[in-house]
Structure 1
Amino acid sequence: MSIKTLGIRNRNPFRIQLGFWNYVVIIAFILIGFFLIYPLFNIFVNSFWQDGKISLENYQEFFSYKYYYSALLNSFIVSTTATFFACCLGIPVAYAMARFNIPFKGLFHILIILTLLSPPFIGAYSWILMLGNNGFIKNFFADLGLDIPSIYGLHGMIWVFTLQFYPHIYLYVSGALKTIDVSLEEASASLGVSGWKRIRKVTLPLIFPTVSTGALMVFMASFADFGTPMLIGQGEKVLPILAYEQFISEMGSNPAMASTLSMILLTVTTMVLFLQRYVVAKKTYTMSALRPPKIIKLKPAKRVMATLLVMAVVTLSIIPQATVITTSFLKTNGPVFVGGFSLESYRQVLYKVPQAIQNTFTYASLAIVFMVIAGLLLSYVVVRRPSKLTSLLDALIMIPYVIPGTVLGISLIIAFNKPPIELTGTWIILVVAYCIRKLPYTMRSSTAILHQIDKSVEEASISLGVPPMKTFFKTTAVLMIPGVLSGAILSWVTTINELSSTIVLYYGATATITVSIYSEVFTANFGTAAALASILSLATIISLIIITLLTGKKDINI
Structure 2
Amino acid sequence: MQTGSRRGIRAYFDFKRWDFWSWVTFGVYLFMLAFIVYPLFSLLINSFFNDKGDLSLQNYANFLKLKYYYTALWNSFKVSALSTVFAILVGVPLAYVMTRYNVKCKALIQILVIMSLLSPPFIGAYSWILMLGNNGFLTRFMHDIGIPFTSVYGWKGIVFVFTLQFYPHIFLYVSGALRTIDTSLEEAAESLGRNAFQRLMTVTLPLIFPTLSAGALMVFMASFADFGTPMLLGQGFKVLPILAYEQFISEMGGNPAMASTLSVILILCSTSILFLQRYFVSRKNYTMTGMRTPKVQELRTLPKVLLTAGALLVACVSMIPQATVVVTSFIKTKGPVFHPGFSLNSYKEILFRVPKAIVNTYSFSLISIVIMVVMGMLVAYVLVRRKSKLTAALDALLMIPYVMPGTVLGISMIIAFNKPPVILTGTWVILVIAYVVRKLPYTIRSSTAILHQLDRSVEEASISLGVPPMKTFFKTTGRLMAPGVLSGAILSWITTINELSSTIVLYYGATATISVTIYSEVFTANYGTGAALASILSISTLVSLLIANKLSKKGLQL
Q: TM-score, normalised by structure 1?
A: 0.96
Q: Map 1:109-258; keep pairs closer than 5 Å.
A: 109-258=110-259
Q: How far did 1:99 drift?
A: 1.4
SS at match of 2:241: helix
In the alignment, which residue of structure 2 is the partner of 1:370?
Answer: 371
SS at match of 2:501: coil
Residues 116-147 of structure 1: CA deviation (Å, up to 9, x unaligned) = 11110100000001110001001001111222
Q: Map 1:34-433; keep pairs closer than 5 Å.
A: 34-50=34-50, 51-433=52-434
Q: Does 1:452 align with 2:453?
A: yes
Q: How far did 1:520 drift?
A: 0.4
Residues in 2 aligned to 1:156 and 1:148: alpha-carbon distance in whole angstroms:
12
Q: How far did 1:179 drift?
A: 1.1
In the alignment, which residue of structure 2 is the partner of 1:516?
Answer: 517
The one-letter amino acid paired with 1:52 is: G
The one-letter amino acid paired with 2:262 is: L
Residues in 1 aligned to 2:158 and 2:59: alpha-carbon distance in whole angstroms:
28
Residues in 2 aligned to 1:391 and 1:440: alpha-carbon distance in whole angstroms:
14
The one-letter amino acid paired with 1:29 is: Y
Residues in 2 aligned to 1:52 and 1:327: alpha-carbon distance in whole angstroms:
50
In the alignment, which residue of structure 2 is the partner of 1:9?
Answer: none
Residues 329-364 of structure 1: CA deviation (Å, up to 9, x unaligned) = 111122111111111100001001000000000000
Q: How far did 1:76 drift?
A: 0.7
Residues in 1 aligned to 2:223 and 2:557: alpha-carbon distance in whole angstroms:
23
- CA 1:457–1:194 in structure 2 vs 1: closer, same or farther (change >3 Å)? farther
Residues in 1 aligned to 2:340 and 2:370: alpha-carbon distance in whole angstroms:
44
Structure 2 unaligned spans of 5+:
1-6
The one-letter amino acid paired with 1:467 is: P
Q: Does 1:550 align with 2:551?
A: yes
Residues in 1 aligned to 2:272 and 2:163: alpha-carbon distance in whole angstroms:
22
- Kept after mapping to 2: 8 A contact 1:121/1:231: yes
Residues in 1 aligned to 2:182 and 2:461: alpha-carbon distance in whole angstroms:
36
Q: How far did 1:187 drift?
A: 1.8
Residues in 1 aligned to 2:391 and 2:310: alpha-carbon distance in whole angstroms:
45
The one-letter amino acid paired with 1:507 is: Y
Q: Give the number of equivalent residue pairs.
A: 546
- Kept after mapping to 2: 8 A contact 1:179/1:289: yes
Q: Which moved more, 1:424-433 or 1:52-61?
A: 52-61
Residues 215-238 of structure 1: CA deviation (Å, up to 9, x unaligned) = 000001001100001101000100
The one-letter amino acid paired with 2:375 is: A
Residues in 2 aligned to 1:105 and 1:411: alpha-carbon distance in whole angstroms:
44
SS at match of 1:54: coil
Q: Map 1:416-495; keep pairs closer than 5 Å.
A: 416-495=417-496
Residues in 1 aligned to 2:209 and 2:407: alpha-carbon distance in whole angstroms:
31
Residues in 2 aligned to 1:85 and 1:463: alpha-carbon distance in whole angstroms:
56
Structure 1 unaligned spans of 5+:
1-11
Q: How far did 1:149 drift?
A: 2.9
Residues 101-120 of structure 1: CA deviation (Å, up to 9, x unaligned) = 11111111111111111110
In the alignment, which residue of structure 2 is the partner of 1:499?
Answer: 500
- Kept after mapping to 2: 8 A contact 1:115/1:164: yes
Q: How far did 1:469 drift?
A: 2.1
Residues in 2 aligned to 1:39 and 1:332: alpha-carbon distance in whole angstroms:
44
- Kept after mapping to 2: 8 A contact 1:548/1:556: no
Q: How far did 1:194 drift?
A: 2.8
The one-letter amino acid paired with 2:331 is: L
SS at match of 2:399: helix
SS at match of 2:398: helix
Residues in 2 aligned to 1:556 and 1:36: alpha-carbon distance in whole angstroms:
34
- Kept after mapping to 2: 8 A contact 1:94/1:174: yes
Q: Which moved more, 1:332-341 or 1:373-382?
A: 332-341
- Kept after mapping to 2: 8 A contact 1:359/1:510: yes
Q: Which moved more, 1:476-485 or 1:465-474?
A: 465-474
Residues in 1 aligned to 2:409 and 2:333: alpha-carbon distance in whole angstroms:
37
Q: Does 1:24 align with 2:27?
A: no
- Kept after mapping to 2: 8 A contact 1:110/1:556: no
- Kept after mapping to 2: 8 A contact 1:446/1:483: yes
- CA 1:419–1:556 in structure 2 vs 1: closer, same or farther (change >3 Å)? farther
Residues in 2 aligned to 1:417 and 1:423: alpha-carbon distance in whole angstroms:
7
Residues in 1 aligned to 2:43 and 2:557: alpha-carbon distance in whole angstroms:
38
SS at match of 1:340: strand
Residues in 2 aligned to 1:427 and 1:173: alpha-carbon distance in whole angstroms:
39
Residues in 2 aligned to 1:161 and 1:141: alpha-carbon distance in whole angstroms:
23
Residues in 2 aligned to 1:153 and 1:284: alpha-carbon distance in whole angstroms:
41
Q: How far did 1:59 drift?
A: 0.5
SS at match of 1:337: strand
Residues in 1 aligned to 2:429 and 2:228: alpha-carbon distance in whole angstroms:
23
Q: How far did 1:439 drift?
A: 0.6
Residues in 2 aligned to 1:294 and 1:475: alpha-carbon distance in whole angstroms:
39
Residues in 1 aligned to 2:81 and 2:360: alpha-carbon distance in whole angstroms:
35
RMSD: 1.1
Residues in 1 aligned to 2:520 and 2:105: alpha-carbon distance in whole angstroms:
38
Q: How far did 1:556 drift?
A: 5.2
In the alignment, which residue of structure 2 is the partner of 1:6?
Answer: none
The one-letter amino acid paired with 2:29 is: F
Q: How far did 1:49 drift?
A: 1.2
Residues in 1 aligned to 2:291 and 2:178: alpha-carbon distance in whole angstroms:
13
Q: Does 1:536 align with 2:533?
A: no
- Kept after mapping to 2: 8 A contact 1:330/1:342: yes
Residues 472-499 of structure 1: CA deviation (Å, up to 9, x unaligned) = 1111110100111111111111000000
- Kept after mapping to 2: 8 A contact 1:547/1:556: no
The one-letter amino acid paired with 2:402 is: Y
Q: How far did 1:463 drift?
A: 2.9
SS at match of 2:340: strand
Residues in 1 aligned to 2:291 and 2:465: alpha-carbon distance in whole angstroms:
38
User: Equivalent pairs: percent with the same residue?
Assistant: 64
Residues 407-466 of structure 1: CA deviation (Å, up to 9, x unaligned) = 000000000001221000100000000000011111111010111111122222223333
